[in-house]
Amino acid sequence: DGDVYKYYADGEWKKSSSGKAVAIINPTTRKTQYKVQACTQEEVNKAMESAKTAQKSWAKTPLWKRAELLHKASAILKEHRAPVAECLVKEIAKPAKDAASEVVRSGDLVSYCAEEGVRILGEGKFLVSDSFPGNERTKYCLTSKIPLGVILAIPPFNYPVNLAVSKIAPALIAGNSLVLKPPTQGAVSALHMVHCFHLAGFPKGLISCVTGKGSEIGDFLTMHPGVNCISFTGGDTGIAISKKAGMIPLQMELGGKDACIVLEDADLDLVAANIIKGGFSYSGQRCTAVKVVLVMESVADVLVEKVKAKVAELTVGAPEDDCDITPVVSESSANFIEGLVKDAKEKGATFCQEYKRDGNLIWPLLLDNIRPDMRIAWEEPFGPVLPVIRINSIEEGINHCNASNFGLQGCVFTKDVNKAILISDAMETGTVQINSAPARGPDHFPFQGLKDSGIGSQGITNSINMMTKIKSTVINLP
Residues of the shown chain interacting with ligand G3P in the complex, contacts defined by CB under 6 A: 158-159, 286-288, 439-441
Whose Cβ is closer to ligand G3P: residue 44's or residue 362's? 362
Whose Cβ is closer to ligand G3P: residue 111's or residue 158's? 158
Taking Cα atoms as reference points, which of 378, 386, 324 lies closest to residue 355? 386
Whose Cβ is closer to ligand G3P: residue 165's or residue 287's? 287
Interatomic CA distance for residues 270 and 267, integer angstroms: 5
Is 287 designated active site? yes
* Contact yes or no for 18/39 (Cβ under 8 A): yes
- Which three-class secondary structure state does DSSP give residue 180? strand
Interatomic CA distance for residues 208 and 472, integer angstroms: 31
DSSP letter at 360 equals T
Beta bridge partners of 153: 180, 231
Whose Cβ is closer to ligand G3P: residue 118's or residue 385's? 385
Interatomic CA distance for residues 131 and 124, integer angstroms: 19
Quick one: how far is CA 449 from the chain centroid?
Answer: 11
Interatomic CA distance for residues 461 and 443, integer angstroms: 9
Classify residue 357 by burial, with Cβ atoms within 10 Å: 0-12, 13-18, 19+: middle
Interatomic CA distance for residues 74 and 158, integer angstroms: 20
Taking Cα atoms as reference points, which of 289, 301, 292, 293 lies closest to residue 325? 289
Whose Cβ is closer to ligand G3P: residue 192's or residue 440's? 440
Q: Taking CB positions, which residue lies at the least distance from ligand G3P?
A: 287
**Nearest approach, Cβ of 183 to ligand G3P (angstroms)?**
12
**Nearest approach, Cβ of 441 to ligand G3P (angstroms)?**
5
- Which three-class secondary structure state does DSSP give residue 340? helix
- Among candidate residues 39, 287, 401, 411, the one labeled active-site is 287
What counts of helices (H) and strands (E) characterise the chain? Answer: 14, 27
What is the identity of the amino acid at 95? Answer: P
Interatomic CA distance for residues 251 and 448, integer angstroms: 9
**Nearest approach, Cβ of 139 to ligand G3P (angstroms)?**
43
**Nearest approach, Cβ of 155 to ligand G3P (angstroms)?**
9
Beta bridge partners of 34: 24
Quick one: how far is CA 367 from the chain centroid?
Answer: 26
Interatomic CA distance for residues 378 and 456, integer angstroms: 23
Whose Cβ is closer to ligand G3P: residue 29's or residue 436's? 436
Whose Cβ is closer to ligand G3P: residue 253's or residue 368's? 253
**Nearest approach, Cβ of 154 to ligand G3P (angstroms)?**
13
**Nearest approach, Cβ of 278 to ligand G3P (angstroms)?**
9
Whose Cβ is closer to ligand G3P: residue 26's or residue 288's? 288
**Nearest approach, Cβ of 255 to ligand G3P (angstroms)?**
8
**Nearest approach, Cβ of 97 to ligand G3P (angstroms)?**
14
**CB atoms inside a 10 Å sphere around CB 421:** 13
**Nearest approach, Cβ of 289 to ligand G3P (angstroms)?**
7
Interatomic CA distance for residues 65 and 57, integer angstroms: 12
- Among candidate residues 91, 102, 116, 253, the one labeled active-site is 253
Whose Cβ is closer to ligand G3P: residue 18's or residue 101's? 101
Taking Cα atoms as reference points, which of 344, 345, 365 lies closest to residue 353? 365
* Contact yes or no for 159/165 (Cβ under 8 A): no
* β-sheet with 125-128: strand ranges across: 125-128, 139-147, 468-476
Contacts of 372 (CB under 8 A, 6+ apart): 378, 389, 400
Which residues are known catalytic residues? 253, 287
